[in-house]
């Protein structure tokens, strides 16, 4: 696909500084972009590249003032990064729009309702009484269980598995290898030391505009639903246990583990490798740094937490600084003890 500077400016509400007929057909990083590519400058530390790059069109901030000649055509916008992201989304959607119809071989049960403009890739499986909404893309080797509801414009990448009875909202993207609705980790200890499995009879509900990274697992509830609220963004390799709830517009980085029945509020930001104990609540707007351990409920909204067990961020940094000085403190105490002993001897 080819786009001119004028067309790009119209898409992102920008203004053209240069030849509006300049055309591009691909994207490139400003450091290495070549002729015919579109790039952007959002971080000032990369400004030097704008005077060297071969990119045909560059998206820049409205008030950008070059200090050297630039050969590229510029498109000026308020927020170059967001504008470039919007263009990437548009390009992705245009490519995806070309995928329609049902490839073979697939298995689609006779009771499945498939809406218009749906794409189903080869070797996909859709079970009894499931439904797939308008404009959704079901890629190859996806498995959709019985009674599953897939909303509109959903994208399920290869090897995604959706277990029976789960519900997926509109505009959801789930990346390759993710499993939705597997059994929660429920086992009752017995008198003889063995464990009896507790049947997991609930489901998973994923609301609108959620994106889930590759190889993430979200367990079905024991009873009721594990719920991922509207606008949540989950990274790769995340484990969410049964009956957990993730609040609206919360973002969680890779390798985080969330134990059963934990409730995370709205607008929470979670770094990588964070661990949550079960049956706790995390207040709205909480920010948690990487590798923290959340062992109890967080009741204060907009808290910033760090460490294991997690504590207020600034307090944690002071404690870490004190720990780094322990060896010096030990020497100082030894010196003081020696002086005290000398005073006592006198």
Which pLDDT belongs to residue 91? 85
* Number of domains observed in the structure of the chain: 3
Q: What is the pLDDT of residues 20-70, one digit of tens each?
A: 999 999 999 999 999 999 999 999 999 999 999 999 999 999 999 999 999
Q: What is the biggest distance separating any 2 CA atoms in the chain, rounded to whole angstroms?
A: 99
pLDDT digits (tens, 9 = 90+) for 118-131: 999 999 999 999 99
Main-chain phi, psi angles of 92, to 5 degrees: -60, -45
Lowest mean pLDDT among 98-102, 183-187, 283-287: 98-102
The answer to whether residues 93 and 173 belong to one domain is no
Is the CB of residue 274 less than 8 Å from the CB of residue 291?
yes
CATH number at residue 229: 2.160.10.10
Task: Classify 111 as helix, strand or coil.
Answer: coil
Catalytic one among 157, 159, 175, 242? 242
Q: Looking at the structure, do residues 167 and 265 belong to the same domain, yes or no?
A: yes
| 240 and 225 share one domain | yes
Domain boundary residue, one of 82, 97, 112: 97
- Model pLDDT, residue 314: 74
Q: Do 18 and 119 fall into the same domain? A: no
pLDDT in tens, 243-300: 999 999 999 999 999 999 999 999 999 999 999 999 999 999 999 999 999 999 999 9
Whether residue 254 sits in one domain with residue 150: yes
Asked if residue 117 and residue 263 are part of one domain, the reply reads: yes
- Give the separation between CA 183 and CA 176, rounded to whole angstroms: 19
Same-domain check for residues 144 and 230 = yes
Q: Looking at residue 23, which CATH number applies to its domain?
A: 3.40.1390.10
Buried b (16+ CB within 10 A) or exposed e, 231-256: bbbbbbbbbbbbbbbbbbbbbbbbbb
Looking at the structure, do residues 126 and 33 belong to the same domain, yes or no?
Answer: no
Active site includes 242? yes
Per-residue pLDDT tens over the stretch 311-343: 786 777 777 777 787 888 888 888 888 888 888
Q: Examine the domain organization and report whether 163 and 288 are in the same domain.
A: yes
Looking at the structure, do residues 250 and 218 belong to the same domain, yes or no? yes
115 and 226 assigned to the same domain: yes
119 lies in the same domain as 215: yes
Range of the structural domain that residue 345 is part of: 321-346
């Amino acid at each position: 696909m080819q786009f001119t500077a004028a067309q790009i400016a119209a898409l992102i509400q920008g203004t053209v500084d240069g030849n509006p007929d300049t055309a591009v057909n691909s994207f490139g990083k400003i450091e290495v972009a070549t002729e015919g590519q579109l790039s952007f400058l959002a971080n000032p530390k990369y400004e030097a590249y704008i005077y060297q790059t071969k990119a045909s069109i560059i998206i820049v901030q409205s008030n950008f003032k070059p200090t050297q000649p630039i050969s590229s055509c510029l498109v000026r916008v308020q927020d170059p990064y967001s504008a470039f992201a919007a263009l990437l989304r548009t390009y992705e959607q245009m490519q995806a729009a070309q995928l329609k119809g049902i490839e073979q071989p697939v298995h689609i049960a006779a009771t499945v309702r498939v809406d218009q403009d749906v794409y189903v890739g080869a070797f996909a499986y859709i079970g009894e009484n499931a439904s797939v909404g308008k404009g959704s893309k079901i890629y190859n080797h996806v498995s959709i269980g019985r009674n599953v509801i897939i909303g509109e414009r959903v994208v399920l990448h290869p090897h995604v598995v959706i277990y029976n009875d789960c519900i997926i909202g509109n505009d959801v993207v789930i990346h390759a290898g993710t499993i939705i609705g597997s059994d929660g980790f429920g086992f009752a200890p017995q008198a003889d030391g063995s464990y009896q499995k507790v049947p997991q009879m609930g489901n998973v509900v994923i609301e609108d505009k959620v994106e889930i990274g590759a190889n993430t697992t979200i367990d079905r509830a024991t009873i009721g639903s594990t719920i991922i609220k509207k606008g949540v963004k989950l990274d790769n390799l995340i484990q969410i246990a049964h009956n957990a709830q993730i609040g609206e517009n919360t973002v969680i980085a890779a390798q985080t583990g969330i134990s059963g029945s934990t409730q995370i509020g709205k607008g929470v930001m979670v770094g990588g490798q964070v661990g949550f104990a079960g049956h706790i609540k995390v207040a709205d707007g909480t920010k948690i740094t990487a590798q923290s351990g959340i062992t109890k409920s967080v009741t204060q909204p907009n808290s910033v937490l760090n460490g294991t067990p997690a504590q207020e961020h600034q307090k944690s940094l002071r404690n870490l600084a004190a720990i780094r000085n322990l060896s010096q403190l030990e020497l100082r105490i030894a010196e003081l003890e020696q002086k005290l002993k000398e005073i006592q001897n006198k």
